[in-house]
Amino acid sequence: MSPTDPDDPLGTVKRTVVILLFEGVDLLDVTGPPEVFALLSRELGGASTGYEVLLAAETTAPVTTSAGVRILPDATFDEVAALPIDTLLVPGSVAVDSDRRVQALTDPQVVAWVKKLAARSRRITSVCVGAHLLAAAGLLDGKRATTHWSTAQQLASENPLVEVDADPIFIREGNVWTGAGISACLDLSLALVADDHGEAIALSIARQLVMYLKRPSGQSQFSIPLQPVATTRRIEDLRLHIMDNIDQPLTVAHLAAHAHVGDRQLTRIFKNELGMTPSAYVESVRVERARNQLESTDATLDRIATTCGFGTTDTLIRAFRRVLNTTPTEYRHRFRA
């Protein structure tokens, strides 16, 4: 039944959500979304509304997750294959080698079930590296998709027909939704609720979850504290200098002089250490500082543009559009603490 079905305008019929289980599955991928869906019944005023979540696996024997916690399935894959599925939710699993490199896993048997169950589902979603299972089943061909940033390159190289974008926290392409890493499963689940029942209810659930913010799909899954840590004292000194003087005109020439190197050498250092140019890094720090002020203060955009080194509000707005795919005003409206 679609969200706009005239026979159910208030969404009073429960929607069946099937979450796949398999050995080594990421625990939060499985448990996070049901927490969001369970709160919908409270918001709608009764247990007869909202979602019915079924955990499905090959058998009904307990499944051991990546965290070592065992989960008992509600049904087998065969049993849910006979049901009309509203939302198929596919989590993922990874292996980590001795060098701490992360590799998403795609069990052929699970992939086969994903493909079969997807054909019976109104909506197909993946959380974190579950996108690799959707891609292996051919469900992302010709589509834009996201996944956890650590496996995005793997997803792209193994699936050339998929347009991989590692930045957004979730992406919707028709009836296929893909979500980014770990806690972004909550953002994706809230977006599904908003799609089915409206933005107001989704925001109310976010407050019940005491979520710091409810992020739209275009929101970046990265922030400056998550950027790679510098491996040399010189670049770390430059990073600290930038943060301490963010309101100053931090040109390449200025930074090169501070580091006692030439402009070209400075650019090479930043690209080698941080994977970006000095100007791009400075802009990202400024955007991060502006984000914090938008979230926690009532400062005007003019004031934020000045204290964060943008100079003008127009420059601030252009930077937000470029880095976060949103505007400062929209960001504050959605994420104000």
**Of residues 25, 39, 55, 128, which has the active-site annotation?**
128
Kindly write down the DSSP assignment for every residue of 237-262, as one continuous string: HHHHHHHHTTTS---HHHHHHHHTS-
Cβ atoms of residues 109 and 95 within 8 Å: no
User: Has 308 been annotated as catalytic?
Assistant: no
Q: For residue 32, what are its two tokens?
A: 């996070």
d(CA 99, CA 283): 32
Other C-beta atoms closer than 10 Å to the C-beta of 105 total 17
The kind and range of the H/E element at 57 are: strand 51-57
Pairing relation of β-strands 176-179 and 121-126? parallel
Burial class (CB within 10 angstroms; exposed 0-12, middle 13-18, buried 19+) of 271? middle
CA angle (287, 290, 293) in 5-degree steps: 155
Catalytic residues, by residue number, are 128
